[in-house]
Amino acid sequence: MDICYKERFIKLLELFIQTRKDSLYICERLNDEDLQAQSMPDASPLKWHLAHTTWAFETFVLKPHSKNYQVFDSDFEYLFNSYYNAIGEQFPRAQRGLLTRPDRETVLKYRFHVDQAIINLIESMPEKAVNSDCYNLIQLSINHEQQHQELMLTDLKHLLFINPIYPAYRDIEHTSNCSPSEPVTFEAGLYTIGHENEAFYFDNEGPQHSYYLTGFKLDSHLVSNAEYMEFIQDGGYHDASHWLSEAWQKINADNIRQPYYWVKQGKQWCEYSLNGLQPLAPLHPVKHISYFEASAYASWKKKRLPTEQEWEVASRSNNPDLKQMFGQLWQWTSSSYNAYPGFKPNEGAVGEYNGKFMVNQYVLKGGSVVTPAGHIRPSYRNFFYPDARWQYTGIRLAH
């Protein structure tokens, strides 16, 4: 085998092994009860995440591409299928926490069974298999599991926060301090949007295309806790003029009056993190903010949220005045999540991965403190519903 191709297979194998280890590392300090519980319909038990990511390798890679592969348990196709209608029916998402069986030990055996089969498959792949359907599906499944690693941490945080003793997990939420924002100016022009043929990218990051932007300004820093506190103290949550109609109904129906994970103890504001309950740090960026809240804050500041195209262009500029663009918090944009010009979903069940969710959601950019490093790039498009608050989401304003 040519040395170039051999290195690619070695790197693929190493990335697969490391990714599978990383998921288990997240669960190392957790007991069976931690892995079993489901705190809300939008979250999933960590045990389910471990099994579902394994199911993806089995379903999309091994079943169609490994001739001698023996399915671990045929019932798992129903239990751990998330939303792939082309595969079959799925166990109800909101009831995943009721799946006490299979237990932790069985799920780990399932992972080992599939891991060995994937390793054998990669090691036996011929040179011509580089960029084949099988090779690309392994890459996709690795990146899929990495996405779930972020979800595992956000789902775990939501679960632990419900506990009134505010248990600590790990000290992993390290963000840099915000400074007073200064406007960074960008000229009008025709810009290229989308992936740049990276080693891997999701289908929704393309096709690459041209997009005309009028001149705009982007704030140099994220919005801080102290700045957001000013909005609260000025009655921001009680002034309907700043809120979208649906947002106003939502915050009043759910009695939302501060960011998620903020807790007031006596006269002191605290914030729950994966390291337990901590005093609120005024200069840290405000996080766990919904699109509704971000939009209301922008209105209060007489500014706006950037479009995803503006954010992407600014992030590619390497302007030294722009801080906290990547790896701090996912940043809301005003752009609805939809298809780029010329987008076509992949054939078969994997075509359901991104395309069918292009409705009623908004794009976020930049990655957070719990985002895998390989998923932090200008073209990456995260997306959530506008009322979502349990993800690591923050605010950067535009003019």
3-state SS, residue 368 = strand
189-193 and 183-186: which strand pairing? unpaired
CATH 1.20.120 holds for 3-162: yes
**Rounded Cα gap, residues 238 and 234, in angstroms:** 9
Q: What is the mean pLDDT of residues 18-23?
A: 98
pLDDT digits (tens, 9 = 90+) for 258-306: 999 999 999 999 999 999 999 999 999 999 999 999 999 999 999 999 9
Is residue 161 scored above 70 in pLDDT?
yes
Q: What is the mean pLDDT of residues 9-26?
A: 97
Return the pLDDT at 244. 98
Q: What is the mean pLDDT of residues 157-163?
A: 98
Longest distance between any two alpha carbons in the chain, whole Å = 68
In the chain, the amino acid numbered 88 is G
- Token pair for 181: 């924002």
Return the pLDDT at 2. 56
pLDDT digits (tens, 9 = 90+) for 358-387: 999 999 999 999 999 999 999 999 999 999
Return the pLDDT at 129. 76
Q: What is the pTM of this model?
A: 0.96
CATH no. of 183-394:
3.90.1580.10
330-336 and 362-365: which strand pairing? antiparallel
3-state SS, residue 129 = helix
Return the pLDDT at 354. 87
CA 272 remoteness from chain centre: 20
Return the pLDDT at 350. 85
Please give the mean pLDDT across all residues of the chain. 96
**Rounded Cα gap, residues 46 and 49, in angstroms:** 5
3-state SS, residue 36 = helix
- Which residues are bridge partners to 189 per DSSP? 213
Is residue 3 scored above 70 in pLDDT?
no
Is residue 131 scored above 90 in pLDDT?
no
**Rounded Cα gap, residues 303 and 323, in angstroms:** 19
pLDDT digits (tens, 9 = 90+) for 208-240: 999 999 999 999 999 999 999 999 999 999 999
Q: What percent of the chain has pLDDT over 90?
A: 92
Q: What percent of the chain has pLDDT over 70?
A: 99
Domain boundaries, the chain: 3-162, 183-394
DSSP letter assigned to residue 373: G
Is residue 37 scored above 90 in pLDDT?
yes
- Token pair for 328: 């701090």
pLDDT digits (tens, 9 = 90+) for 50-96: 999 999 999 999 999 999 999 999 999 999 999 999 999 999 999 99
DSSP annotation string for 308-339: HHHHHHHHHTT-TT--S-SSB-EEEEEEE--P
pLDDT digits (tens, 9 = 90+) for 342-358: 999 888 888 888 889 99
372 exposure class (CB count in 10 Å sphere: 0-12, 13-18, 19+): middle
**Rounded Cα gap, residues 366 and 381, in angstroms:** 9
